[in-house]
Each structure stands twice: as structure tokens, then as C-alpha cells.
């Protein structure tokens, strides 16, 4: 019983130190882009609706970028290898995509990347405004993308 009390007290005392360490850790360079985005493949609709989140074209997180596929229901997931700041946005380099299992195991889905500069492991993002981005040089994403925001 005494040991449990000591462990509980130690964890309570350590909590403020852990929170301070988390607060001091710098945000990743692409933190401004986190969230759901619509458009890209077609002109974007209103990003200020709840339906926007259900039909997002691209979703950015800390470690992964998800993109909608015109050929499949599931999102294509790309693991981020590096993110670099460029003058007007970001440049993502993804971990090389692995082939999926099955009969066509040696083939990658045709829409695994973003069709940018003939490199499926590269994505350049141009920041057009606080809630608008574009993927220059990406033939599958000729239109701008708009951030999904909560109404109100």
C-alpha cells in the first residue's frame, strides 16, 4: 500500500516537469498545415461546413499524409520521411511506398503519390493564404485546396 502511495505521489510531482518539457519542444515546420483539406482534384467547395470533414481530399498529420483516391474508397497513406521549408510553402519527401500484397504484389497503385514531377515520393505545397494551398506541378491536383474549418 505504501509503495503505491509513493508511486502515485512521484507521478504527480513529475507531471509539471513533463508538461514544461512538452511546451518547450518546438512545433514541426509543417504544423500550420495540419488538418483536412478539400479541393485539389476539383475546385474546392465551402470549407466552413461539417460535410467538408467527411469528404476531405487530403489530410495532413505530424507523421502521415492521407489523400483521397478516385479509384478506391480507402485513402492512400504516405509516411512522411522529411519536411523542408521552401520560400512559399513546404516540400514533403515520403518514405518509399511498398507494394501491396496479392496477385499484383509487385505493382503500386497508380495514385499512390500526388503525380508531382513524376516522383511519387515528393510533394511540394504552395501556401496561397491562411486557408488555401496548392500543389504546383502535380497533374492530379490542378485546383487549389481549402482548409476544412468548423462552422461558427
The string of pLDDT tens digits covering residues 109-152 is: 666 778 788 888 899 999 998 899 999 998 888 999 999 998 76
Query: pTM for the full model?
Result: 0.76
Contact 143, 42 (CB under 8 A): yes
Quote the CA–CA distance of 89 and 6 in Å, as a whole number: 50
- pLDDT band of residue 105 (cuts 50, 70, 90) is low
At 21 the pLDDT is 56
Amino acid at each position: 500500500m505504501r509503495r503505491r502511495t509513493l508511486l502515485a505521489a512521484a507521478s504527480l510531482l513529475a507531471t509539471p516537469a513533463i508538461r514544461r518539457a512538452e511546451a518547450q519542444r518546438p512545433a514541426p515546420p509543417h504544423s500550420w498545415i495540419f488538418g483536412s483539406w478539400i479541393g485539389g482534384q476539383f475546385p474546392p467547395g465551402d470549407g466552413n461546413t461539417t460535410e467538408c470533414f467527411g469528404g476531405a481530399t487530403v489530410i495532413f498529420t505530424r507523421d502521415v499524409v492521407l489523400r483521397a483516391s478516385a479509384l478506391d474508397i480507402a485513402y492512400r497513406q504516405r509516411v512522411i520521411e522529411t519536411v523542408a521549408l521552401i520560400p512559399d510553402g513546404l516540400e514533403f519527401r515520403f518514405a518509399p511506398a511498398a507494394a501491396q500484397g496479392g496477385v499484383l504484389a509487385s505493382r503500386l497503385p497508380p495514385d499512390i503519390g500526388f503525380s508531382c514531377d513524376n516522383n511519387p515520393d515528393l510533394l511540394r505545397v504552395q501556401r496561397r493564404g491562411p486557408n488555401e494551398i496548392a500543389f504546383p506541378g502535380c497533374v492530379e491536383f490542378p485546383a487549389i485546396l481549402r482548409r476544412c474549418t468548423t462552422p461558427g
